[in-house]
Amino acid sequence: QVQLQQSGQGLVKPSQTLSLTCAISGDSVSSNSAAWNWVRQSPSRGLEWLGRIYYRSSWIEDYAVSMRSRITISPDTSKNQFSLHLNSVTPEDTAIYYCASGWALFHWGQGTLVTVSS
């Protein structure tokens, strides 16, 4: 059974970088049949897919166009986890952030409330 455990900061100052990590158990970040996503949820935007990474002989990154200039999702194969980095944050980036696996999103992390405030 795949389990995803999130960690990272809950409060970020405007213009700084939001960083979250998702530790995977029960699967491998390098699996040739998996994909690893970040999704966020806010009252104003609802559920919003941010991007994903997956491994198919090489690493593939796929981001929402609206995020592309600010987002990086990266794997850490030594720790079997993946991370989200979102730079130049504004209060509009305040949301609950989730990691999730798959295309249909079979497994979800517990969620991290990230507040962007000075």
Partner 1 sequence: DIVMTQSPDSLAVSPGERATINCKSAHNLLYSSNNKYSLAWYQQKPGQPPKLLIYWASTRDSGVPDRFSGSGSGTDFTLTISSLQAEDVAVYYCQQYFLTPFTFGGGTKVEI
Name the residues that contact partner 1, by CB under 8 A: 37, 46-49, 52, 62, 64-65, 98, 100, 103-106, 108-111
Shortest spacing between CB 38 and partner 1, in angstroms: 11
Judged by beta carbon, residue 13 or residue 68, the one nearer partner 1 is: 68
Judged by beta carbon, residue 16 or residue 102, the one nearer partner 1 is: 102
Could you tell me the two tokens for 67?
Answer: 């995020």
Indicate the residue type of 94. Answer: T
Q: Decide: 107 and 81 in contact? Cβ < 8 Å.
A: no
Judged by beta carbon, residue 28 or residue 103, the one nearer partner 1 is: 103
Task: From 41, 58, 36, 59, select the one nearest 112 (Cα to Cα).
Answer: 41
Backbone angles phi, psi at 78, to 5 degrees: -70, -30
Q: What share of the chain is helix, strand, coil (3-state, %, to 5)?
A: 5, 55, 40
Shortest spacing between CB 94 and partner 1, in angstroms: 17
Shortest spacing between CB 98 and partner 1, in angstroms: 5
Judged by beta carbon, residue 15 or residue 115, the one nearer partner 1 is: 115
